[in-house]
Chains A and B, each alone.
Chain A
Amino acid sequence: MIELDAVTKRYDGKTAVNELTLTVPDSAVMILLGPSGCGKTTTLKMINRLIEPTSGDIRIDGRSVFAMDPIELRRSIGYVIQETGLFPHYTVEGNIGVVPTLLGWDKARIRRRAAELLELVNLEPSVYLKRYPRELSGGERQRVGVARALAADPRILLMDEPFGAIDPINRRILQDFFLRLQSELKRTVVFVTHDIGEAVKLGDCIAIMREGHLVQVDDTHTLMEHPADAFVEDLLGSTRSTEQLLYYRAAHYADPDFTVMSPEELQAGRAHTDASIIILKDGDHIMGYVEKGQMISCDNIQGEACRLETVSANATLLEAVTILLQSGRKRAVVQDPDGTILGTISISMVAEVLGKVAR
């Protein structure tokens, strides 16, 4: 648990962060959201003491960070920043090994750990261990950045717009990847962003800041239902527009009325028409979808023609619509980071939500 207690940072006369009090529960992802210059980065850097506050206290698990050695404190906290974070003169292995080296691990252990982490972030170790950052794409670099922050197995991660410089499509992939990772590792994360979609998608809680003040901190739904003031409402874009779709997670709207069948079962004619059917091959490969009451034909179960896209459960409705439009299909499957199928989502269901908003 991280507690910020009336933390203030002043730069000769100018107040960057003002009396900020905030608690980040264990294993939660706390988003710091707000316009440029509102003090997000300053707040983040005070937690690992890259910036010393003017007043106030910060505690980790009840212990004041100011009672700790700053060097040791930083080695125990994972830190991810945008782009330039990787060291250009180190290989991927060297970069991941920075903190373990500082902690005195031996070479063999560092190599094992680096390989293990690359697998975790979906990069083939034999290909990537010996590469230099300039030989990686932006998305790959960001993954290595996350792997590096996890190297010494810290319980706390500080992330400052880690996916900010990535194009929208790859950002979505990295966000999904982050969610999968977090559902597995359950770290305590403070995550800075000014992308509202990202905040809603990744955050358990969102702290909204303005000119150094904390305006409101709540879970996403409460924030939507009860914005503290006009500023929050504005920031969340509650003017009625397609942005509305940013506030709802696909999981809330997934249609759970379906049964799962293997292609063999289908062919054996064991299909019931009173529920829609998701065709699943080998237990995890989604092959297709049969609408409720629809005739079952070979087309339903064969080939690319009936492949369905999947939408991450944490994705916003806007993302779901984007995926649906890009795939050119009426429906997509909503899936948990761990692979559980929650249901399906369609354009018409999204339209219904929009209809309610418009009233």
Chain B
Amino acid sequence: MNAFQYLAQNWPEVSQKVVQHLEIVGIAVAGSLVIGLLLGILVSRPRLQTIGRVIIAMTGIAQSIPSIAVIALIFIYTGIGPRTAIIALTAYGIVPILFNVSSSMLMVPSDMREAARGMGMTPLQVLMRVELPVAAQSIMSGVRTTVTVDVSTATVASVVGAGGIGDIIFVGLSVVRPDMIIAGTLLVAFIAVVSDLLLALLQKSVVSRGLSTSS
């Protein structure tokens, strides 16, 4: 049997795994986005900028921690089930978003902030109308990285009983069925490519044309 035959014959079960996978990734990305965005905004405030730079340096180190280590560590506290995967992926996915948000916000020229204040914007208006839109390109890149990483890492989370497409691959591994392993891999790759494509479109629509470097 080849991978496509496997997918066709087991579609009800496979689609259930795909839904599980998307759920884990979706919740984790949303969590990372909220936390990463809030933290990133916080550490880019003038008074906290020194902390901000330290955090940016630390995210570099955090990025080199293997995802499986994070999953294993969380597993010790939360045990079997999707909860462990979601918490681990959320924590892991904060890193690229936090890095991009804080570094791009710190790069917004202080003159521009001051012009905004000088025209009578409240601090919240400066954030919403100037800082975030100007940093949007980089923030969206961070989100895309997190989504791509989460889609593939969620596969590994099958080992803590989270479900998802990883189940297909790991079962394939234990019963030596290359078709299952390939089918699972293809699904993960497909989801990663499609979601990144959609996010690229979203990025284009949220980033002002005035900021793009081309044309």
> Residues of A with Cβ closer than 8 Å to B?
45, 48, 50, 71-76, 79, 81, 83-85, 87-91, 98-99, 102, 132-134, 158
Contact = CB atoms under 8 A, between A and B. Distances in A.
Contact of A87 (B112, B122, B125, B209): B112
Nearest to A86: B115
Nearest to B213: A134
Interface residues of B, number: 22
Contact of B118 (A48, A84, A102, A133): A48
Contacts of A89: 133-134, 136, 208, 210-211
B106 to A, nearest CB: 16
B109 interface: yes
Contacts of B136: 89
30 contacts: A45-B118, A50-B117, A71-B120, A71-B122, A72-B120, A74-B119, A74-B120, A75-B119, A75-B120, A76-B120, A79-B118, A81-B111, A84-B111, A84-B112, A85-B115, A87-B112, A87-B116, A87-B134, A89-B133, A89-B136, A89-B208, A98-B119, A98-B121, A98-B129, A99-B119, A102-B125, A132-B208, A132-B209, A133-B210, A134-B210
Q: For B115, B119, B134, which residue has the most chain A Cβ atoms within 10 angstroms?
A: B119
A98 B130 CA distance: 11
Given A71-B122, A132-B209, A132-B210, A88 B134 contact: yes
B118 A88 contact: no
Given A90-B210, A102-B125, A84 B117 contact: no
B210 A102 contact: no
Given A74-B119, A79-B119, A81-B111, 12 more contacts: A50-B117, A72-B120, A73-B120, A75-B119, A75-B120, A76-B120, A81-B118, A84-B111, A89-B211, A98-B121, A99-B120, A102-B121
A75 B112 CA distance: 16
B208 A85 contact: no
B154 to A, nearest CB: 34
Interface of B: 109, 111-112, 114-122, 125, 129-130, 133-134, 136, 208-211
A50 B118 contact: yes
B38 to A, nearest CB: 22
Contacts of A45: 118
B125 to A, nearest CB: 7
A290 to B, nearest CB: 51
A45 B118 CA distance: 8
A88 B120 contact: no
A83 B133 CA distance: 19
Contacts of B114: 50, 81
A102 B120 contact: yes
A85 B111 contact: yes
Kindly list the 7 A-B residue pairs having the minimum CB-CB distance in the complex, ordered from nearest. A132-B210, A75-B120, A89-B208, A74-B120, A79-B118, A84-B111, A89-B133
Contacts of B122: 71
Contact of B115 (A84, A102, A134): A84
Q: For B116, B121, B136, which residue has the most chain A Cβ atoms within 10 angstroms?
A: B121
Nearest to A79: B118
Nearest to B121: A102
A45 B209 CA distance: 32
Contacts of B118: 45, 48, 50, 74, 79, 81, 158
A88 B213 CA distance: 11
Contacts of B125: 102
Contacts of A84: 109, 111-112, 115
Contacts of A48: 118
Contacts of B129: 98
